[in-house]
């Protein structure tokens, strides 16, 4: 102990003699000081004096609940969101957030999600028809549910320009909703093929957009975003086998999604991966955990995201 103390004192004395600060900050600590300072300046800039930001939320069924955690972290950090897009669960979360639902309420909704919110056919009769009469479930209830939550809003009423993706099962085309009734586009975007009846709309038969564009980064770019952030609820299928028909349908979506997102990830300026792979796509008991993982993943990436944005807007921050 005495030896250690003597060594420490001698060390301190020598450094003091040389006039150096032995408690100097590391590069990482210095970076953090500048980042915190510059970020506060950046977020106070008016929209026209900084790069505009677009956020895209991926599909991912109930894993996509993680988007709520991500949005919370981004908005509490003061990130200005100028444009948004989403597919399937990403569309639901984006639409409800954008329509002004408090994040706490959104968390409650997802954590207490009930099949009756989605379809009136989720009962014995409906299941028998599905199995023996090959009649798909209706998702009309879901549209009513969205209308009830947001008060029959249109896309044009949203404070942040928003678009979501659906697919025409007849032609394989990508159908973008960015105007008209919000609830219709949201329903079409999450309308799982093989489970729900396609939504008939303007000569089209619409199903879940995840099969054509799992993470529509291009939409926010087209809307005018200078800087795009893609949020991906990462699936993990390594070694696991789906437990039921729904599991298989969702797995196909995830596999297709994994291929499609490769391109979207390259298009984005920044990607936040929510590591929710261990959570099943239809596991209702783990939505709360998914939200938590989303928040933690975004918070971990936040310093890097701030740095990238500040560098993009450097001329405005350091005039």
Partner 1 sequence: MSLNKILSLILILLFLPLQSKAFLGLTSRFDQKHKITAAREAYTNGNYQEAIEIGRKFLSENQEAPKRRIRRIYLVLGDAYAALNDYDHALLTYNEALEVLPKDVGLNLALANLYYKTELYDKSIEFYNKVLQLDDDNSKALLGLGRAYLKIGFLSKSRQYFKNYLDQKKEKDNSVYFDYAMANFLSNNQNIALEYAQKAQKIDENNPDIYFLTAKIYRNLKENEKADNNINQALKLSNNRDDILLTSLLWRAYKQETAKDVFKEIKNYQKQNPDSQLAVFIEGMSLLTQGKKQKALTIFRKIQDVNEDSFIKEITKQILKNN
Q: Min. distance of Cβ 231 from partner 1 in angstroms?
A: 15
Is position 45 an interface residue for partner 1 (rule: CB under 8 A)? no
Query: Is 269 an annotated catalytic residue?
Result: no
Q: Which of 58, 66, 85, 88 is catalytic?
A: 88
- Using CB under 8 A as the binding rule, whether residue 31 contacts partner 1 is answered as yes
Least Cβ distance, residue 298 to partner 1 (angstroms): 7
Which of 82, 121, 168, 208 is an active site residue?
208
Cβ 4 to partner 1, closest distance in Å? Answer: 16
Q: How far is the CB of 285 from partner 1 (least distance, A)?
A: 14
Contact between 25 and partner 1 per CB under 8 A = yes
**Which residues are bridge partners to 205 per DSSP?**
200
CB of 18 to partner 1, least distance (A): 10
Question: How far apart are the C-alpha atoms of 209 and 199, rounded to whole Å?
Answer: 12
Nearer to partner 1, 18 or 133 (CB): 18
Is 46 an interacting residue with respect to partner 1 (CB under 8 A)?
Answer: no
Region 276-315 residues binding partner 1, contact defined as CB under 8 A: 291-292, 295-296, 298-300, 302, 307, 310-311, 314-315
Say whether residue 20 binds partner 1 (CB under 8 A).
yes
| Residue 208 a catalytic site member | yes
Q: Which of 1, 5, 29, 203 binds partner 1 (CB under 8 A)?
A: 29
Indicate the pairing of strand 227-233 with strand 53-57.
Answer: parallel
Comparing C-alpha atoms, which of 173, 157, 177 is closest to residue 88? 177
The residues that touch partner 1, with contacts defined as CB under 8 A, are 19-21, 23-25, 27, 29-31, 33-38, 40-41, 69, 72-73, 76-78, 103-104, 107, 291-292, 295-296, 298-300, 302, 307, 310-311, 314-315, 318-319
Active site residues: 88, 208
């Amino acid at each position: 102990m005495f030896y250690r103390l003597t060594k420490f004192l001698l060390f301190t004395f020598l450094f003091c003699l040389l006039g150096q600060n032995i408690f100097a900050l590391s590069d990482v600590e210095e970076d953090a000081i500048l980042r915190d300072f510059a970020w506060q300046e950046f977020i106070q800039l008016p929209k026209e004096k900084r790069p505009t930001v677009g956020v895209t939320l991926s599909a991912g069924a109930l894993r996509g609940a993680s988007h709520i955690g991500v949005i919370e972290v981004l908005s509490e950090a003061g990130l200005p969101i100028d444009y948004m897009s989403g597919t399937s669960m990403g569309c639901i979360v984006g639409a409800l957030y954008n329509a002004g639902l408090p994040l706490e309420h959104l968390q409650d909704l997802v954590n207490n999600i009930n099949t009756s919110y989605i379809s009136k056919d989720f009962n014995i009769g409906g299941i028998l028809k599905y199995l023996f009469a090959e009649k798909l479930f209706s998702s009309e209830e879901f549209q009513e549910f969205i209308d009830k939550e947001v008060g029959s809003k249109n896309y044009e009423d949203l404070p942040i320009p928003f678009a979501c993706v659906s697919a025409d099962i007849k032609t394989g085309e990508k159908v973008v909703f960015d105007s008209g009734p919000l609830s219709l586009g949201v329903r079409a975007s999450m309308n799982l093929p093989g489970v729900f009846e396609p939504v008939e709309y303007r000569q089209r038969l619409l199903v879940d957009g995840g099969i054509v564009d799992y993470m529509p980064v291009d939409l926010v770019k087209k809307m005018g975003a200078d800087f795009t952030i893609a949020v991906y609820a990462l699936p993990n299928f390594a070694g696991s086998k789906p437990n039921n028909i729904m599991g298989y349908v969702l797995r196909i979506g995830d596999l297709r999604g994994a291929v499609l997102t490769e391109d979207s990830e390259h298009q984005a300026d920044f990607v936040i991966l929510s590591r929710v792979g261990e959570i099943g796509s239809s596991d209702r008991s783990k939505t709360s955990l998914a939200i938590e993982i989303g928040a933690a993943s975004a918070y971990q990436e936040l310093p890097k995201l701030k740095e990238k944005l500040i560098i993009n807007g450097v001329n405005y921050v350091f005039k």
